[in-house]
Amino acid sequence: MSSVISVSQLSKTYASGFNALKQIDLDIQRGEIFALLGPNGAGKTTLISIICGLVNPSEGTVLANGFDIVKEYRKARSQIGLVPQELTTDAFETVWNTVSFSRGLFGKAASPEHIEKVLKDLALWDKRNNKLITLSGGMKRRVLIAKALSHEPQILFLDEPTAGVDVELRRDMWEVVRKLRESGVTIILTTHYIEEAEEMADRIGVISNGEIILVEEKAALMQQLGRKQLTLQLQEPLETIPGNLNGHDLELAADGHELVYTYDSQQDRTGIPGLLGELNAAGINFKDLRTHQSTLEEIFVSLVRKRP
Amino acid sequence: MNLQAVAAIYRFEMARAKRTLLQSVVSPVISTSLYFVVFGAAIGSRITEVEGVSYGAFIVPGLIMLMLLTQSVSNASFSIFFPRFSGTIYELLSAPVSYFEIVLGYVGAAATKTIVLGLIILVTANLFVPLRIEHPFWMLLFLVLTALTFSLLGFIIGIWADTFEKLQLVPLLVITPLTFLGGSFYSINMLPPIWQTITLFNPVVYLVSGFRWSFYGISDVSVAASLAMILLFLGLCLGVVAWIFKTGYRIKP
């Protein structure tokens, strides 16, 4: 796949002296959903803001579909739609007018057919004549997406798209994003919700203190860093782990009522049958068991913690 | 040139004016008309002619100028301040629009609104006082140049202001006093000599004088000086706007 966004040696130092981005290199592949994760103040929004033209870069270059975002800003920005983090809307405009305004701003001739399609896709058609001030938060978020899609962009940036949105709407929003990807739009989203990245992204980038510390296929990331744990609820509590079980990665939990076995689920041999046999031989019985896979959140927290 | 974008901004701003017709048209027309009634008809009847023109008619160009300056600044400053305040400016900055096109859209709309207002007030004034326009071309030229220049000034104020209070500061504390002291209601020849000299440092004197000349052929300063002053001010405002966009001052960190 070819790169649709190519960030090279990008740095940003604000007038206050704050170094928000430190020589970032990043390539976003055409047609993928890329999730950018990072704690507050890590540089996610600064990175998006530079690519979209809201903030001036201090050093480095960014190409959008091959166009330099500074020297060829018109062509570069025409490729991009941006859905900002804040619900910023013109309160007294109607949905139809504000989406049509966005299309005009991007230099496209009026197209009521396209606006109608976008509004219908986002379940906003019934609200087209409503003033924005009368809409709920979730609906306003959809309007912002409609505005970003009004000029038929190839690349869509979603900065915290489901912040403050309830679970049901969040799932609707994910569905909308998936449909967009199916239509060929490349999607870059920043999020605090790890489950969002886990649910949707093809690749994940982690940014911390202005540096990209990891870019990986989501599945590969889960494979590489994802641990699985088997928890056995014991019939009788144990004070210590018997010596003959030392060959396994075992821990006691819940005051000795649980035995936790950590293993790599990707290996051909997980060691579970052997462990169960040894437990049986040692006379340790269990009444129930459960397994748990590391979530992206756990992976993410461990990655950020490892940084100095 | 992204003309679609200029048209989108222009239409958006004009639609906003339509939504707020009471505030943007009716209110300035009524308040200016009150000046005609009070100063022109009530008090003016006790004042003899000024340089051969009845007092009521004499103050019309100055009053239109007062409205032009304050309304241009208010319209344009609010139009760019509000997107900054609400955050919707993100869309302008992320669109394939040049700074020139942004200014053209906003300042063009603000200037249009004030020119229309100026013409409405001119027609309204004609109902109260006998008007004559000796140099209609020059009258229109001064009207357009003033609306344009002060809309640019308003745009600059809208970028500079970070509170609603600052937004009102310049129109209320600078422009209105300078206009009142700039010969809107009197000829500067009526002042003591020392004040005549001091008044010449007030740039609004030149605007009012030139505009009044286009009506009645009488002026406090030469027409060339008036034209030079407005062009100088226009150039200054264009320079500041260019600097704002070059540096990203208060728009783009």
- Reference A58, options A91, A22, A34, A86; nearest CA is A22
CA–CA min distance B12, chain A (Å): 7
Say what the pLDDT of residue A87 is.
Answer: 83
A109 in contact with B, Cβ within 8 Å:
yes
**Per-residue pLDDT averaged across A86-109, rounded?**
90
pLDDT above 70 coverage of chain B, percent: 100
Q: How confident is the model at residue A226 (pLDDT cuts 50, 70, 90)?
A: low
CA–CA min distance A142, chain B (Å): 15
User: A181 burial class (0-12, 13-18, 19+ CB within 10 angstroms)?
Assistant: middle
Say what the pLDDT of residue A224 is.
Answer: 67
Find the range with the poorest average confidence among A38-52, A107-121, A169-183, B133-147.
Answer: A169-183
Cβ(B252)–Cβ(A54) below 8 Å: yes
3-class SS at B129?
coil
pLDDT above 70 coverage of chain A, percent: 96
What's the complex ipTM? 0.86
* pLDDT tens for each residue of B188-231: 888 888 888 888 888 889 999 999 999 999 888 899 999 999 99
Interface of A with B in 182-211 (CB under 8 A): none
Q: How confident is the model at residue B22 (pLDDT cuts 50, 70, 90)?
A: confident
Question: Considering CB atoms only, which of B87, B96, B253 is closest to A107?
Answer: B96
Say what the pLDDT of residue A225 is.
Answer: 63
Q: How confident is the model at residue A306 (pLDDT cuts 50, 70, 90)?
A: low
Q: If you measure CA to CA, which chain A residue comes closest to B87?
A: A88
CA–CA min distance B252, chain A (Å): 5
Helices (H) and strands (E) counted in chain B, each on its own, are 12, 0
Q: If you measure CA to CA, which chain A residue comes closest to B11?
A: A101
Question: Considering CB atoms only, which of B7, B16, B19 is closest to A104?
Answer: B7
- The H or E element that residue B202 is part of is none
A73 in contact with B, Cβ within 8 Å:
yes
CB contact under 8 A, B5 and A91: no
* pLDDT tens for each residue of B96-142: 999 899 999 999 999 999 999 999 999 988 888 888 899 999 999 99
Total residue length of chain A: 308
CB contact under 8 A, A53 and B86: no
CA–CA min distance B91, chain A (Å): 8
Check whether B48 has a pLDDT greater than 90: no
Q: Regarding predicted confidence, which is higher, A299 or A184?
A: A184
DSSP β-ladder status, A228-234 and A258-263:
antiparallel
CA–CA min distance B97, chain A (Å): 7
**Per-residue pLDDT averaged across B85-90, rounded?**
90
* pLDDT tens for each residue of A1-30: 589 999 999 999 999 999 999 999 999 999
Partners of B87 on chain A (C-beta within 8 Å) are 84, 86, 88
Partners of B248 on chain A (C-beta within 8 Å) are 56
Check whether A109 has a pLDDT greater than 60: yes
Say what the pLDDT of residue A1 is.
Answer: 56
A18 in contact with B, Cβ within 8 Å:
no
- Say how many C-beta atoms besides its own lie within 10 A of residue B83's C-beta: 19
Dist. CA B60–CA B125, nearest whole Å? 7
Partners of B16 on chain A (C-beta within 8 Å) are 92
CA–CA min distance A304, chain B (Å): 28
Q: Regarding predicted confidence, which is higher, A220 or A116?
A: A116
**Test mutation, B6, B13, B91, chain A, max A CBs within 10 A:** B91
Find the range with the poorest average confidence among A27-36, A244-253, A289-298, B155-164.
Answer: A289-298
Say what the pLDDT of residue A50 is.
Answer: 96
**How are strands ordered across the β-sheet holding A203-208?**
A80-83, A155-159, A186-191, A33-37, A203-208, A211-217
DSSP string, B176-187: HHHHHTTTSSS-
Say what the pLDDT of residue B250 is.
Answer: 83
**Test mutation, B88, B98, B99, chain A, max A CBs within 10 A:** B88
CB contact under 8 A, B252 and A54: yes
Helices B223-247, B203-216: crossing angle, 10 deg rounding:
130
Structure tokens at B194: 């020392």
Q: If you measure CA to CA, which chain A residue comes closest to B12?
A: A101
* pLDDT tens for each residue of B152-195: 999 999 999 989 999 888 888 888 888 888 888 888 888 888 88
- B124: Cα separation from own chain's centroid: 18
CB contact under 8 A, A75 and B7: no
**Test mutation, A105, A140, A151, A152, chain B, max B CBs within 10 A:** A105
Say what the pLDDT of residue B242 is.
Answer: 92
Say what the pLDDT of residue B21 is.
Answer: 83
A80 in contact with B, Cβ within 8 Å:
yes
Q: Sign of the CA dihedral B48, B50, B56, B59?
A: negative
DSSP string, chain A: --EEEEEEEEEEE-TTS-EEEEEEEEEEETT-EEEEE--TTSSHHHHHHHHHTSS--SEEEEEETTEETTTTHHHHHHTEEEE-SS----TTSBHHHHHHHHHHHTTPPP-HHHHHHHHHHTT-GGGTTSBGGGS-HHHHHHHHHHHHHTT--SEEEEESTTTT--HHHHHHHHHHHHHHHHTT-EEEEEES-HHHHHHH-SEEEEEETTEEEEEEEHHHHHHHH--EEEEEEESS--SS--GGGTTS-EEEETTTTEEEEEE-TTSS--SHHHHHHHHHHTT--EEEEEEEEPPHHHHHHHHHHH--
Q: How confident is the model at residue A308 (pLDDT cuts 50, 70, 90)?
A: low
Check whether A307 has a pLDDT greater than 80: no
Check whether B239 has a pLDDT greater than 90: yes
- With a CB cutoff of 8 Å and minimum separation 6, the contacts of A58 are A11, A12, A13
Q: Which residues of B208-236 are buried (b: 16+ CB within 10 A; e: fewer)?
A: bbbbbbbbbebbbbebebbbebbeebbee
Check whether A262 has a pLDDT greater than 80: yes
Rg for chain B, CA atoms, rounded:
19
Q: If you measure CA to CA, which chain A residue comes closest to B4?
A: A107
Q: If you measure CA to CA, which chain A residue comes closest to B105?
A: A105
A54 in contact with B, Cβ within 8 Å:
yes
Partners of A73 on chain B (C-beta within 8 Å) are 96
Question: Considering CB atoms only, which of B4, B86, B248 is closest to A104?
Answer: B4
Question: Considering CB atoms only, which of B15, B19, B252 is closest to A55?
Answer: B252
Partners of A97 on chain B (C-beta within 8 Å) are 15
Q: If you measure CA to CA, which chain A residue comes closest to B1?
A: A107
Q: If you measure CA to CA, which chain B residue comes closest to A74?
A: B96
- With a CB cutoff of 8 Å and minimum separation 6, the contacts of B54 are B44, B129, B130
The structure's pTM equals 0.83
